[in-house]
Amino acid sequence: MIEIDIQKSFKNQNERINFNFKTSIEQGSLSALFGKSGSGKTTLLRLLSGLETPDCGQISVAGKIWFDSNKKINLSPQKRDVGFVFQDYALFPNMSVIENLRFAQNEKNEDFLEEILEIVELKEFKNKMPASLSGGQKQRTALARAVARKPKLLLLDEALSALDNTMRKNLQDNIEKIHKRFNMTTLMISHDIAEVYKLASKVIMIDNGAILKEGNPDILFESSKISGKFKFSAKILKIQKADTIYIVTLLIGDNLTKVVATQSEIEKMNIGDVVLVASKAFNPIIIT
Supply the pTM of this predicted model: 0.78
pLDDT of residue 100: 94
Rounded to 10 deg, the angle between the 110-119 and 165-182 helix axes is 140
The CATH 2.40.50.100 domain(s) of the chain lie at 223-287
Better-scored residue on pLDDT, 213 or 15: 213
Name all contacts of 248-253 with Cβ < 8 Å and 24+ positions apart: 248/286, 249/197, 249/218, 250/275, 250/277, 250/286, 251/193, 251/194, 251/197, 252/277
Give every CB contact of residue 101 below 8 A, 6+ residues apart in sequence. 113, 116, 117, 141, 144, 145, 148
pLDDT of residue 280: 56
pLDDT of residue 226: 38
Does domain 2-220 correspond to CATH entry 3.40.50.300? yes
pLDDT of residue 166: 82
- Per cent of the chain over pLDDT 70 is 92
> Tell me: the pLDDT tens digits for 88-122?
878 999 999 999 999 999 889 999 999 999 999 99
For residue 177, pLDDT over 70 is answered with: yes
For residue 229, pLDDT over 70 is answered with: no
Rounded to whole angstroms, what are the CA distances from 53 to 18, 44, 56? 14, 10, 8
Mean pLDDT score of the chain? 87
> Tell me: the pLDDT tens digits for 182-191?
999 999 998 8
- Per cent of the chain over pLDDT 90 is 51
Better-scored residue on pLDDT, 284 or 146: 146
* CATH number of this structure's domain 223-287, picked from the four choices 2.40.50.100, 3.30.300.20, 1.10.760.10, 3.40.309.10: 2.40.50.100
For residue 287, pLDDT over 70 is answered with: no
For residue 236, pLDDT over 50 is answered with: yes
The CATH 3.40.50.300 domain(s) of the chain lie at 2-220
